Structure 1
Amino acid sequence: MSEQSKTTLKPRLLELNCHFTWRLLEEDCDIVELEERLHNQIEYLLTENKYMVHNLLAYAEHLKGDYPEAIANLEKAEEQILKANSDETNRKCLVTYGNYAWVYYHTKQYEKAQIYIDKVASIFQELKSSSQDSSKLPEIYGEQGWSLLKFCGQYYAKSKECFEKALETDPDDPEWNSGYATVVYRMEGFNGRRCPADECKSVPLLQRAVKLNPKDSVVKALLGLKLQDLNQVTQAQKYIEEALEQTPNLPYVLRYVAKFYRRAGKTEEALKVLKRAIGLTPTSGFLHHQIGLCYRQKMIRQKNASARYGRSYSQNTGNHSEEVKELIQKAIFHFEMALEHKKTFIFAYTDLANMYTEAKRYHKAEETFKKALDIKKLTEEEKQQIHFNYGRFLENYMRSETEAVKHYREALLISELTRERQSSEVALKRLADRMVKRDASDATGFCLLGFLYKLNQNTRKAIECYEKASELDPDNEEYLSVLCDLKLTI
């Protein structure tokens, strides 16, 4: 192919609707961890649409530069689509053929790339001649939705839009309903968000998905967890038990069942299920994290029991402190394993740092908080979570009020309404009151109170506090600047 032909090929490639044009950015995802998850899904998921997993895996292999594996996965995807021999066969092939064209382009096999571009054009021409609207193909929107959902949490909103477009054309498709319900469920709890019951939209969507495909045990388990969130315990347990009975050895169901048991306080049952799941997928960061949470839960119970019953409890149960130490070490081990397999798992970072603190390994705890903050492309909620936990650590264990205030402020300045933001505000108010009470001639406490009043739009009280801070520290330009800005708003 001539250089001119190669140049004209690129614009046509950019017109294709496939993984290479969906802006799935390598820096937004741990590719090795994604690849591992996709291999597990190919092995364990019970679905007729595994071709979509192979397509995404082919794209992941491209990001690693392994083009023979990328081609091998595209061949498997195509084979599965053709084997199904449904009315949607040609439409389902569109994404796969687009991926083929891009892979061949990257490997400088331009003639082959052209062949697949022509195949896509031919299918669209066929659809046009049969009066089908080729601009609204649910097969493309649905596959894009699943790919975005599996790639990373930052793409959930776009994934939701894709499933909505797929359902506009094909409202009763079980796969797109499952995807839509799953992404809405994930968005409601993303990064530890607490979704109020009156704002919860996932329950009817999950119920519809289960109705359309009663064999989908994963969606059934998610419905059980969501109903548990809403304190509908009896119904929740019914779906959890059904999911477990349907697929007793499916890792994705086992992990949700274990989460249900752990949140219900049934730690031993949760551990039993998790150990079965980890035997099937030993490198799952999610499972290791869940096991760590179970050991943390047991540790907290032991400490609370000791506090309630005092020394007599320890004497009756043996060396209590040794048991607590053992639980702490087990939790640390599994949190470390979670991060070994999923290096951007923010919950695992904060849980590990907090557990190092329990073990009085303060240097390791601080090192872990700093590592978490150094991760690129953190979401606002993730930053909030790290700053709050780091601030609490600095205040309570390093006795560094000044540094703690910095991190509480960072958490509070992020507008996301999370539990960590609320706790940071409470912590700052407590520290500000303590500073003022301890030394009324120190401007820092009044400045901090002014900052809190300003954030809550109580301008009058904020001005009073900054005026007091300026009286005590008249040369502080920051206090004067904020005070001037506040007075201009009146």
Structure 2
Amino acid sequence: MSMDHDRVLRTKLDQLECHFTWALRKDDIDLNSLNEKLKLYVEKKEELTHTYNALAYVKFLQGFLEEALSNLMTSLKLYKECHDEEFHKSLIVTYGNLAWINYHMKNYTECESYLQKVLKINENISSESSSVPEVLGEKGWTFRRFSYKYHEKSKECFKKALDLEPEVGKWNAGYAIALYRTEYGEYGESTIENSPVIKQLRRAIETNPDDDIFKIYLALQLGINKSYEEAERWVERALESSPDHPGVLTYAGKFFGKKGNVDRSVALLRKALELSPNSALTHHQLALCYKKKKIQLLQEGNHVRGPEVQPIRDQIIYHLEIATKHATGFITALSELALHYGEQHDISRAEEMFQMTFETAKEKDDKLHVVHFYYAEFQLYSKRDEVLAIKHYMECLKMNPGSYEGKKSVYKLKMIAEKRINKNTQVGKAYGILGFIHKEKGEKTQAIECYEKALSYGENDEYLTNLSALRLSI
């Protein structure tokens, strides 16, 4: 093929709406975990045409072009088994992917053939491919499945599809999930009555009455606002009509775990694992349940409890190890696992895992603040290094003050500072810590007061710098 012909062909390919043109960056995606997730969709026979399209692109990113082509042909075959129409707008993405994969395999005749099919479809529709609801829907599902970093884009796609076809159940479902993923737990000024997430989840239930996962999502959202009575009714309805749905069981387990009913949570999660044994999410939720059991025993303050705690800690580690095996980029689970290795006094293994997790989080630009928080916990409780713990709590707070870990870091830093002040030891540094907390929270006057108190106990260049900057900013 001549360079001019190749340039023209690439221009046409770049104009297609498909996985190859949606800026799905390899660095943003945990390919192994996504591959396992998509295979589960195949096993459950859910959204098969879309799933094989997505699986094909994963195989392409992994360098398996023949497998990618095979998955696309399976997607096309499944579509044709249900529809007679060869040039329907639902095939825009599949044909686009087929054009691209054949281009990469240097099958230029086949590539141009699929380009022509897309062109013929476009001639029969009144809008651009990018405004076709079926394309927007598949794009939305792809963004949601591939990476949490694309969840905002997923929300935009489903909102556009819903604006075009407001009564279609799958667009209502997609938009509900996208809102849930991006705004879970965020109320701001909204209440149960006017929360966009809750409103859309109710709409998804109306338009998808047989899909019980939305009842569980709604229950979790209601639970955050402590509307437990209504929330539990939705959970029980979902469990009654979908007693063998792994997702329903897992999220129901999550609901009861958050509510404090750990035993029921464990029972539901174990049943979910019987149906889907490789679910990283379910194993992680089970680890969290056992973590709550461990904390309850330790808080009882009875030293005789030691032998009872160890089997529970073993369960935590077991489930975290499986979760991180099946989701290698699961930053939170990796951090928790490293922390528990520390609790087992396997300090070198914990350090090694933390350093690997730091590297993974930096490479993926994903949840680095979480790793700093758990590493601070490890330093404080396993290595008894309060100085390093303070450093990493501070890093977590700087990176993401509004996160759960950021708020917990504030609590731990205050605890350390107040302990020092009460014991009249390193008081200047204690006020320096409090000044830092106020500064990060935007409380400038309180920060200045704390830094001035810190300086009264001795000179510190960092405190002077922070104090000067705060005074200038007021």
Q: Does TM-score exceed 0.5, indicating one fold?
A: yes
- Stretch deviating more after TM superposition (326-335 or 216-225): 216-225
Displacement of 1:12 in angstroms is: 0.9
Partner in structure 1 of residue 316 of structure 2: 331
One-letter amino acid of the counterpart of residue 208, structure 2: N
> Does structure 2 retain, via aligned residues, the 8 Å contact 1:174–1:213?
yes
Q: 1:433 to 1:378 in 2, by over 3 A?
A: farther
C-alpha distance in 2 between matches for 1:148 and 1:266 = 34
Aligned length: 471
The alpha carbon displacement at 1:75 in A equals 1.6
- Match in the other structure for 1:91: 89
- Using a 3 Å threshold, how does the CA distance of structure 1 residues 3 and 290 change in structure 2: closer, same or farther? same
- The aligned residue for residue 411 of structure 2 is 426
* Match of residue 383 from structure 2: 398
| SS of corresponding position for 1:127 | coil
Alpha carbons of structure 1 residues 488 and 249: separation in structure 2 relative to 1, 3 Å: closer
CA distances 1:370-424 after superposition (whole Å, capped 9, x unpaired): 3322224578882333322322332333222221121121122124412322232
The match for 2:66 is 68
- The residue type equivalent to 1:21 in the other structure is T
The two structures have a TM-score, normalised by structure 1, of 0.86
Q: What residue number does 1:276 align with? A: 271
1:48-84 Cα distance to aligned partner (Å, 9 max, x none): x421111111111111111222122212222232333
Structure 2 unpaired stretches of 5+? none
2:111 to 110, 113, 119: 113
Deviation at 1:134, TM superposition (A): 5.0
Residue 408 of structure 1 is matched in structure 2 by: 393
C-alpha change, 1:296 and 1:86, in structure 2 (3 Å) is farther
Provide the rounded CA distance (Å) in 2 between the counterparts of 1:220 and 1:66: 39
Q: Following TM superposition, by how much is the alpha carbon of 1:466 offset from its aligned partner in structure 2, in angstroms?
A: 4.3
Tell me the equivalent position of 1:237.
Answer: 232
User: Shift of the alpha carbon at 1:19?
Assistant: 0.5
* Alpha-carbon shift at residue 173 of structure 1 (Å): 1.1
Aligned to 1:208: 203
Cα distance between partner residues in 2 of 1:88 and 1:144: 21
Q: For residues 445 and 88 of structure 2, what CA distance do their matches in structure 1 show?
A: 67
Alignment of 1:94-243 (within 5 A): 94-128=92-126, 134=129, 136-189=131-184, 195=187, 198=191, 200-243=195-238
Deviates most, 351-360 or 199-208 = 351-360
Corresponding residue of 2:439: 454
Separation (CA, whole Å) in 2 of partners of 1:4 and 1:342: 44
Q: In structure 2, the residue corresponding to 1:215 is in which secondary structure? A: coil
Of residues 337, 340, 354, the one that matches 2:325 is: 340
Task: Show the counterpart of 1:23.
Answer: 23
> How far did 1:285 drift?
1.1
2:469 matched residue in structure 1:
485
CA distance in 2, matches of 1:297, 1:433: 26
Q: Aligned partner of 1:488: which letter?
A: L
For residues 437 and 322 of structure 1, do their structure 2 counterparts lie closer, same or farther at Cα, with a shift above 3 Å needed? closer
Distance in structure 1 (CA, Å) of the matches to 2:433 and 2:351: 25
Which AA in structure 2 matches 1:10? R
1:139 and 1:457 mapped to 2: Cα distance?
45
Matched position secondary structure for 2:88: helix
Distance in 2 between residues matched to 1:60 and 1:164, nearest whole Å: 26
Q: Distance in 1 between matches of 2:402 and 2:427?
A: 31
Amino acid at match of 1:486: L
Residue 336 of structure 2 contacts residue 374 of structure 2 at CA under 8 Å; is this kept in 1? no
Distance 1:271 1:2 in 2: 63
AA aligned to 2:80 is L
> Which runs of 5 or more residues in structure 1 are unaligned?
315-319
Query: Aligned with 2:213: secondary structure?
Result: helix
What one-letter code is carried by the residue in structure 2 that aligns with 1:247? S
1:289 aligns with 2:284: yes
Q: Secondary structure in 2 aligned to 1:375?
A: helix
- The one-letter amino acid paired with 1:484 is S
- CA distance in 2 between partners of 1:272 and 1:282 (Å): 14
- Shift in Å at residue 457 of structure 1? 4.3
CA distance change for structure 1 residues 425 and 283 in 2, over 3 Å: closer, same or farther? same
- How has the CA–CA distance of structure 1 residues 201 and 416 changed in structure 2, closer, same or farther, with 3 Å as cutoff? farther
Q: CA deviation at 1:144?
A: 0.3
Change (3 A) 1:50 1:246: farther
Superposed displacement of residue 323, structure 1: 2.7
User: Per-residue CA shift, 1:428-462, capped at 9, x if unaligned?
Assistant: 33434555666678754444344334334454554
Give the CA deviation at 1:174: 0.8
Q: 1: distance between equivalents of 2:422 and 2:232? A: 51
Answer yes or no: is the 8 Å Cα contact 1:14–1:21 preserved in 2. Answer: yes
Q: Which deviations, in whole Å up to 9, do the C-alpha atoms of 1:128-149 show, x marking residues without a partner?
A: 4xxx565521111111000000
Mean Cα deviation higher: 402-411 or 459-468 = 459-468
Change (3 A) 1:460 1:72: closer
- Pick closer, same or farther for the CA change 1:16–1:365 going to 2, 3 Å: same
* Percent of pairs with identical residues: 35
Query: Within 1, Cα distance between the matches of 2:286 and 2:441?
Result: 40
Moved more, 449-458 or 203-212: 449-458
For the structure 1 residues 95 and 458, does the alpha-carbon distance in structure 2 shift closer, same or farther, using more than 3 Å as the test? closer
Q: CA deviation at 1:480?
A: 4.1
Checking the alignment, whether the CA contact within 8 Å between 2:376 and 2:392 is kept in structure 1 is yes
Equivalent-residue separation in structure 2 for 1:452 and 1:242 (angstroms): 44
**CA 1:331–1:445 in structure 2 vs 1: closer, same or farther (change >3 Å)?**
closer
Residue of structure 2 equivalent to 1:384:
369
* 2:48 aligned partner: 50
The aligned amino acid for 1:165 is K
Which of 351, 355, 360 in structure 1 is aligned with 2:340? 355
CA contact (8 A) 2:361 2:368 kept: no
Q: 2:145 and 2:76 mapped to 1: Cα distance?
A: 20
The alignment partner of 1:140 has SS state of helix
Which residue matches 2:255?
A: 260
Could you give the per-residue CA deviations for residues 90-120 of structure 1, whole angstroms, max 9, x where no partner exists?
A: 1100000000011001111112111111111
Q: CA deviation at 1:263?
A: 2.9
Paired AA for residue 411 in structure 1: C
| Cα distance in structure 2, aligned partners of 1:257 and 1:218 | 9
| Paired position in structure 2 for 1:317 | none
